Structure 1
Amino acid sequence: MLGEIAVMTKPGELEYQHYEVPEPGPGALVLRILQANVCGSELHIWRGHHPVKKRGGIGHEMVGVVHALGDGVTTDCAGEPLTIGDRVVATYFQTCLRCPQCLDGQYNLCDNAYQFFGQQPEVAPHFHSGFATHIYIHPRQHYYRVPDNVPNAAAASANCALSQVYFGLDRIGLRDGDTLVIQGAGGLGLMGVALAKTRGARVIVIDGIAQRLVQASELGADHILDMNDYPAASDRIAAVQALSAGRGADVGMEVTGVPEAFNEAVTGLVRRGGRYLVMGNLSPGFTIPFDPGLLTRRAVQVIPVDRYDGRYLHKALRFLSDYQGTFAFDKLLDSHFHLRDVRLALDKSARREVTRASIVIE
């Protein structure tokens, strides 16, 4: 049986490759992919901004059904029974449990996280990316059965948008009564709105795309700031401070991928002594002028977060299941494309012609 993979031959260029769908080894499984989303990380890779990945299979935020189970696999990583045809989400990275970071309990920083995700499709077992008909899940990856009440469109966003934000907000210690300012209302930002509202936070969202701001408002954002109405950083800082008794937000969350956003938050979006979660700027080499003395004087605690602890994927699924009737998670995807239209989905997403694109394989 032949499977198909969308392969980036170089940034901005795509071709399709075909390989026999492999049989899983002991402790592994193979999924048939149902739906995979275009995440901001894909756009960094597609534009050539990723420090390492310059070619290969792309796509990592997806949901699939069990195609084959390797010897010894009878349950998911939470102990739930697993059979052929069950819907599953899995981390795109592994946790090796052997590197210095894993031994120190920093599982999200595993040195060998991309051992398989970084492999080229020419190397067996070939299928390690989301924009494909199948994906091979290795024993050190986290995988969980999708609750029955969670639709595919919502489940596909569990990894990585929801899991990433869930992990980040736990790391930054978002509390009941905090004011949170979110820079960017893409997939991570919108999931951040939903999570923050369930924790009793007051949420301010900044973005320049009208549809994203509408979605943020529908998810419960208390205030939205359209960058078209507040074009300068000073305008946005003044607006956020006006909404927070002249102080600034208790917590900031950067999910824009725009380096200038960092200075904007440290300068005044976030209050003196506040906390700042940085997750969107993940392409090294893009620099900005920075005033370390100002950071010291304002005493803003900056916490960068790279990836997430794989166990948070299970937390994300439970959140989706518990709040399925509260938030229209599946409506956050506004454009759907066929596997053969991956290039179109990436290009439209990069030009911001769509809010959040999804590749529907089945």
Structure 2
Amino acid sequence: MPSVGRAAVFFGPGKPFEIREVPLPEIEPDAVLIKVSLANVCGSDLHFWRGDAPLRLPEDGWIFGHEMTGRVAKLGRNVKTDSLGRPLREGDRVAYTYFYPCGRCYVCLNKQPAACPAKIERPRGPSEFPHFHGAFAEYYYLRPGGALFGVPDALSDELVSPVNCALSQVIFGLQEAGLRFGGSVVIQGAGGLGVQAAAVAKDMGASTVIVVDQLPGRLELARAFGADHVINVKEVAERKERVTLVRKWTGGMGADVACDFVGFPQVIPEGIEMLRPGGAYLEIGTISRGAKVELEPATLVWGAKKIVGVIMYDAAVIPRALDFLVRNRTRFPFDRLISHKYPLEQINQAFSESEWHNRETTKISRAALVP
């Protein structure tokens, strides 16, 4: 084992990442050191990079990123199996959590570990143990209490890397929103989460999947991932017209579930309007604190509608996501999700070319770093 590994360190919006050498930690008995194979640039990473929300960063910067997969580099002496009890060895490919519910608070004891406040951690610098806190590095340190799962041989790293965020997030979110077999769903935003949400909704038995976006390439990809209808907001410019289309395609009622995967709160009132009476609005995308939207609460009351907020997911969703990929790997074009790969040294280029906000188009569906 080497004594150091490289990491891309973030010093704040408008500043370039810097590649630094970081010491490899001593492995705790219940921890696992993972050699990162692929680390994707997620939409939430772009929020931090842009500065959409205020961040207080350590003086020595922040190693972030979370949508990743890798191989076991070193096992703590107590770790013999994955979280399903299957034998685990160094070199095995794994999917794993990047968050750590405490297991002791009221929320965890109420069997809602996905909502545990301890999972939301402050940015941590490379000088703080265990040094490798995020995906944009050669290694990731899975702390004691983290979950990890062996990866089926049938799945490539390119298919597995979105499991640890985008795919597991939408599986859990649609479950929490109550999407049922035969139901209808509106997906606002056809980025990494949105297109996979279309596929997951179809796999859950949704009869009507409608995807809304402004980029033609993303809408075309959404169709390939199961969307029955798409709405280009540049072509259907009026909100009233878009709502009318949704009602037309849902038997005049509106959708059972609508989802925000855009990440900007301006879309929320329109999504709620697209719901049927009694429908649920799934809020995942808008993570920036301080972002606000004007909302008329009476629309929720008189329509008996609800808003479901979801952050992260239960670790038990990860093996379900892997099974979903095995079953559907030839049904949907998952190989098109990661369109561009970059070495770690080109992380600044990867972020710049992944940016889509205030642009007419982007050539990237998902960028992946290869540390």
TM range (shorter): over 0.9
Does structure 1 residue 286 correspond to structure 2 residue 286? no
- The answer for the alignment partner of 1:358 in structure 2 is 368
Letter in 2 for 1:40: G
Letter in 1 for 2:230: I
Letter in 2 for 1:78: L
Q: How far apart, CA to CA, are the structure 1 residues paired with 2:54 and 2:180?
A: 34
- The answer for the alignment partner of 1:150 in structure 2 is 155
- What SS does structure 2 have at the residue aligned with 1:321? helix
Q: How far apart, CA to CA, are the structure 2 residues paired with 1:335 and 1:62?
A: 15
Gaps of 5+ in 2: none
- What SS does structure 2 have at the residue aligned with 1:89? strand
- The answer for the alignment partner of 2:6 in structure 1 is 4
Q: How far apart, CA to CA, are the structure 2 residues paired with 1:360 and 1:19?
A: 17
Does structure 1 residue 45 correspond to structure 2 residue 45? no
User: Judging changes above 3 Å, is the alpha-carbon distance between structure 1 residues 194 and 178 closer, same or farther for their aligned structure 2 residues?
Assistant: same
Q: How far apart are 1:347 and its partner, in Å? A: 1.7
Q: How far apart are 1:320 and its partner, in Å? A: 1.2
The within-5 A match list for 1:77-92 is: 77-92=83-98
- What SS does structure 1 have at the residue aligned with 2:26? coil
- The answer for the alignment partner of 1:330 in structure 2 is 335
Q: How far apart, CA to CA, are the structure 2 residues paired with 1:113 and 1:163?
A: 16
Does structure 1 residue 170 correspond to structure 2 residue 175? yes
- The answer for the alignment partner of 2:35 in structure 1 is 32
The normalised TM-score by structure 1 is 0.95
Identify the range of structure 1 (281-290 vs 61-70) with the bigger mean alpha-carbon deviation: 281-290
- What SS does structure 2 have at the residue aligned with 1:45? helix
Letter in 1 for 2:14: G
- The answer for the alignment partner of 1:110 in structure 2 is 116
The normalised TM-score by structure 2 is 0.93
- What SS does structure 2 have at the residue aligned with 1:92? coil
Q: How far apart, CA to CA, are the structure 1 residues paired with 2:137 and 2:320?
A: 26
* Cα-Cα RMSD: 1.5
Q: How far apart are 1:336 and its partner, in Å? A: 1.4
Whether the 8 Å CA contact 2:92–2:150 is kept in 1: the answer is: yes
Q: How far apart, CA to CA, are the structure 2 residues paired with 1:131 and 1:174?
A: 34
Whether the 8 Å CA contact 1:45–1:53 is kept in 2: the answer is: no
- The answer for the alignment partner of 2:76 in structure 1 is 70
Whether the 8 Å CA contact 1:23–1:30 is kept in 2: the answer is: no
Paired positions, count: 359
- The answer for the alignment partner of 2:20 in structure 1 is 17
- What SS does structure 1 have at the residue aligned with 2:186? strand
- The answer for the alignment partner of 2:264 in structure 1 is 258
Q: How far apart are 1:49 and its partner, in Å? A: 2.6
Q: How far apart are 1:343 and its partner, in Å? A: 1.2
Q: How far apart are 1:52 and its partner, in Å? A: 4.4
Deviations 1:94-145 (A, max 9, x none): 1221223212222012222245x73211112210110100111012111111
Letter in 2 for 1:233: R
Whether the 8 Å CA contact 2:177–2:281 is kept in 1: the answer is: yes
Identify the range of structure 1 (76-85 vs 15-24) with the bigger mean alpha-carbon deviation: 15-24
Same amino acid, percent of matched pairs: 39
Q: How far apart are 1:329 and its partner, in Å? A: 1.5
Letter in 1 for 2:292: T
The within-5 A match list for 1:101-140 is: 101-115=107-121, 118-140=123-145
Identify the range of structure 1 (80-89 vs 345-354) with the bigger mean alpha-carbon deviation: 345-354
Identify the range of structure 1 (32-41 vs 94-103) with the bigger mean alpha-carbon deviation: 94-103
- The answer for the alignment partner of 2:204 in structure 1 is 199
Q: How far apart, CA to CA, are the structure 2 residues paired with 1:308 and 1:52?
A: 23
Gaps of 5+ in 1: none
Q: How far apart, CA to CA, are the structure 2 residues paired with 1:284 and 1:297?
A: 28
- The answer for the alignment partner of 1:224 in structure 2 is 230
Whether the 8 Å CA contact 1:95–1:310 is kept in 2: the answer is: no
Q: How far apart, CA to CA, are the structure 1 residues paired with 2:238 and 2:288?
A: 24
